[in-house]
A and B are shown apart, each in its own frame.
Chain A
Amino acid sequence: METSFAITGKGYVIVAADTTSARSIIKMKSDEDKIKTLSPHLLMAYSGEPGDTVQFAEYVERNIRLYHIRNLYALRPSASAAWIRRALATSLRSRKPYSVNLLVGGYDTSEHTPHLYWIDYLGTMSEVPFGAHGYGAYFALSLLDRYHDPEAPLEEGLATLRRCIDEVSKRLVVTPGKYKVKIVDKDGVREVEL
Chain B
Amino acid sequence: MSIMDQNGGSVIAMVGKDCVAIASDLRLGNQALGVSSNFQKIFPVTDRIYLGLPGLATDVTTLKERFRFRVNMYTIKEEREIEPETFAHLVSSTLYEHRFGPYFCEPVMAGLSKTPSGGYKPFIAATDLIGCLNFAKDFVVAGTASEKLFGVAEGLWEPDLEPEDLFETISQTLMNAVDRDAYSGWGCVVHVLTKDKVITRTLKGRMD
Contacts and interface: CB of A to CB of B under 8 A. Distances in A.
Nearest to B104: A122
A16 B30 CA distance: 21
Interface residues of A, number: 19
B35 A118 contact: yes
B33 A123 contact: no
A138 interface: yes
A125 B33 contact: no
A92 B35 contact: no
Nearest to B98: A93
Contacts of A124: 7, 28, 30, 56-58, 61
Interface of A: 85-86, 88-89, 92-93, 118, 120, 122-128, 131, 137-138, 141
A126 B101 contact: no
Interface of B: 6-7, 28, 30, 33-36, 38-39, 56-58, 61-62, 65, 101
A92 B101 CA distance: 12
22 contacts: A85-B58, A86-B65, A88-B58, A89-B58, A89-B61, A89-B62, A93-B101, A118-B35, A123-B62, A124-B28, A124-B30, A124-B57, A124-B58, A124-B61, A125-B57, A126-B28, A126-B36, A127-B36, A127-B38, A128-B35, A128-B36, A141-B35
Contacts of B65: 86
A95 B44 CA distance: 34
Contacts of A86: 62, 65
A123 B35 contact: no
A128 B27 CA distance: 12
Contacts of B38: 126-127
A123 B58 contact: yes
Contacts, number: 46
A124 B101 CA distance: 18
A138 B61 contact: no
A126 B9 CA distance: 14
By DSSP majority rule, is chain A's interface helix, strand, loop, or mixed? mixed
B51 to A, nearest CB: 18
Nearest to B103: A93
A18 B195 CA distance: 55
Contacts of B57: 122, 124-126
Nearest to A123: B58
A118 B62 CA distance: 16
A126 B39 contact: yes
A124 B35 CA distance: 11
A138 B29 CA distance: 12
Nearest to B34: A141
Contacts of A89: 58, 61-62
A138 B92 CA distance: 38
Contacts of A122: 6, 56-58
Nearest to A120: B30
Contacts of A92: 58
Contacts of A137: 33
Given A118-B35, A124-B30, 11 more contacts: A85-B58, A89-B61, A92-B58, A122-B58, A124-B57, A124-B61, A125-B58, A126-B28, A126-B36, A126-B57, A138-B33
Contact of A131 (B35, B39, B61, B62): B35
Contacts of B28: 124, 126
B94 to A, nearest CB: 15
A125 B38 CA distance: 12
Contacts of A125: 57-58, 61
Contacts of B36: 118, 126-128
B191 to A, nearest CB: 20
A48 to B, nearest CB: 14
